[in-house]
Structure 1
């Protein structure tokens, strides 16, 4: 066998291992109760909102329909909106806090979340929800029940990602596939290592005492991926947290088409895979070698590598509420699209041209 053939067989073997790991991981994924018991916890939901006039009403309607949480308060943090975000919040009966501009060294979302969580001494649990997320009626009670049942300090119920256009269907499912493939969930749940972390700030639930012990959003003030950084801060403070199944608790359509998707991913993807531009590029190179190059060879090992990638993608999508077929068959194209977005993100980061919702993202 030629050296190239041995390399290709090795890559295919690793791809098979990642598929098996994804299958095991999704079996171990913490699952919320469909009918959770009522909670006596005092809960504050913080909704950071910047120019969310069209999305906020649906989010607040879902929060008003929550069951099993008799002590629930909702605070909308109007993060300098130029539209009718604050008016929509008031029309839905939510408390509205006008956020002050981010101080030097702070990014917008951590600043808004920190202000929404301030003065919560009478609260047991903090919940952070994005305005484009729609919660099921039992979502908050079920998330709190997961905290209590497993002795956790933070849970990140990953919402079901609604993907409509071809670009969304290529890229969005990679979110869940990445942590299912790369992160050993039960080890990460128990381990104090900050590097073993995955979280999604679209719906994030944390004990208030642990949040404050970890420094809150002030500890992650300049992080473009403040959700993962917050979980890492919780781990450093001695807490435990993990991503959990949120497909039955929440749903969201993050981006509508390629332009919005590209802008959203470019703002943060440079730090998403390896924690830095160099680390992310290295991780992308490995993913490309495993899931893109083998199918291009047309060899038997290449076919095995391709099928392993499809299998890992399929079992993850099935478990997390995504579309399984035919989308899983395009997995190599999705990884290539991710490569393109990553390169654009790294270049934008180096040039200092990244921005989001009218603000420059510099560190």
Structure 2
């Protein structure tokens, strides 16, 4: 399956035709003083987008994000800095509320200028873009006739903990889902999306209510893609490792906190379903290396074959994501795949534990404090 996806998944082209329609980029940011200025510089350097508008929303940051953003904008008339001083409304996550504010502003500006709905792009502050990334993404959205294109960025990993966990994001769907086939239909259960880089047909986004449809979701990227498919729209995925990269989390502490805030929602939030996945993962990714190490004869050979298949799948997924052959650190991380699976399962269990204790937080805000946990 991973080999199939590595061969068939479309990639964003490094060169593309200029985009004539309006393209509005929305960047929600909270406590991103270090990450945001380089992204603004990347956005100002974009080529091939004739009508580019950049909206940045500072979500009540306490680290000088707004000041750093204003310096990076440096008077560029294409850029607008918005500031929020209050937290999200009840029932909303901070990111969804920020995205709604940005989208509302984009719609008002489009109406004022008469530029039309066009293309609406949401970017996380930790994304880095090559100069032609936005033109390539908008062009691919229109070429594929989708309401949403999710360009999958290269996930950078620098510490050991990051190299153990981050490659699992791409591997999880690349090893289980024939993406090109899934993207031809509108089945919500087979959607793949990455909230770090989302490219919408603005009219379709507005037709489903935008981020209002996923106000309280901790996985708003997947859920808004599902909402589009349930409404009859198509969504699509494209590999973008040559044009977009990100380091989602910096170090083991931030990584653990980041995954614990949302992993409880995997498998529909069901603990029995998650345990079933854990059993299957243990059988598939722990048993083979144990057999290869402790077994004899045919059992050892089968164990080695299974372990080699798992490592090869990891390497193929990493190559799909980065757009280049694996390097030494990729080989080391892939060889540790059984440990990666164990780390993931541990984070999943801790996420459920923190949810039951109402202890889910992110960037100083309590997430989903509602007490009706047993009904989920």
TM-score normalised by length of structure 2: 0.88
Provide the aligned C-alpha RMSD in A: 1.4
Cα deviation, residue 171, structure 1 = 0.7
Aligned to 2:11: 31
Aligned to 1:182: 176
Aligned to 1:295: 289
Tell me the SS of whatever aligns to 2:239: strand
Deviation string, structure 1 residues 191-245 (Cα, Å, up to 9, x no partner): 2111111111111111101101122100000100000011101111211112210
Tell me the SS of whatever aligns to 1:53: coil
Q: Distance in 1 between matches of 2:2 and 2:359?
A: 36
Instruction: Summarize the alignment of residues 277-296 of structure 1 with structure 2, pairs less than 5 Å apart.
Output: 277-278=270-271, 279-296=273-290
Pick the aligned partner of 1:332 from 314, 331, 338. 338
Q: Is the 8 A contact 1:29 1:185 kept in 2?
A: yes
> Does 2:281 match 1:275?
no
> Does 2:80 match 1:95?
yes
Q: Distance in 2 between matches of 1:314 and 1:240?
A: 29
Aligned to 2:99: 113
Query: How many residues are aligned here?
Result: 342
Q: Is the 8 A contact 1:157 1:249 kept in 2?
A: no
> Does 2:256 match 1:262?
yes
> Does 2:190 match 1:205?
no
Instruction: Summarize the alignment of residues 163-182 of structure 1 with structure 2, pairs less than 5 Å apart.
Output: 163-182=157-176
Q: Distance in 2 between matches of 1:174 and 1:141?
A: 28
Cα deviation, residue 292, structure 1 = 1.7
Pick the aligned partner of 1:126 from 95, 120, 126. 120
Moved over 6 A (4+): none
Q: Distance in 1 between matches of 2:55 and 2:105?
A: 12
Instruction: Summarize the alignment of residues 203-282 of structure 1 with structure 2, pairs less than 5 Å apart.
Output: 203-272=197-266, 274-278=267-271, 279-282=273-276
Q: Is the 8 A contact 1:177 1:312 kept in 2?
A: yes
Q: Distance in 2 between matches of 1:266 and 1:237?
A: 30
Q: Distance in 1 between matches of 2:118 and 2:276?
A: 41
Tell me the SS of whatever aligns to 1:182: coil
Aligned to 2:58: 78
Tell me the SS of whatever aligns to 2:331: coil
TM-score normalised by length of structure 1: 0.91
Stretch deviating more after TM superposition (276-285 or 110-119): 276-285
Cα deviation, residue 300, structure 1 = 2.4
Aligned to 2:348: 342
Q: Is the 8 A contact 2:186 2:235 kept in 1?
A: no
User: Compared with structure 1, are the counterparts of its residues 187 and 201 closer, same or farther at alpha carbon in structure 2 (3 Å cutoff)?
Assistant: same
Q: Distance in 2 between matches of 1:302 and 1:342?
A: 27
Tell me the SS of whatever aligns to 2:143: helix
Cα deviation, residue 294, structure 1 = 2.2
Q: Is the 8 A contact 1:271 1:280 kept in 2?
A: no
User: Compared with structure 1, are the counterparts of its residues 146 and 107 closer, same or farther at alpha carbon in structure 2 (3 Å cutoff)?
Assistant: same
Stretch deviating more after TM superposition (295-304 or 106-115): 295-304
Q: Is the 8 A contact 1:220 1:226 kept in 2?
A: yes
Q: Distance in 2 between matches of 1:190 and 1:126?
A: 22
Gaps of 5+ in 2: 74-78, 111-116, 293-299, 371-376
> Does 2:319 match 1:318?
yes
Cα deviation, residue 333, structure 1 = 1.1
Pick the aligned partner of 1:42 from 13, 17, 22. 22
Q: Distance in 2 between matches of 1:124 and 1:282?
A: 43
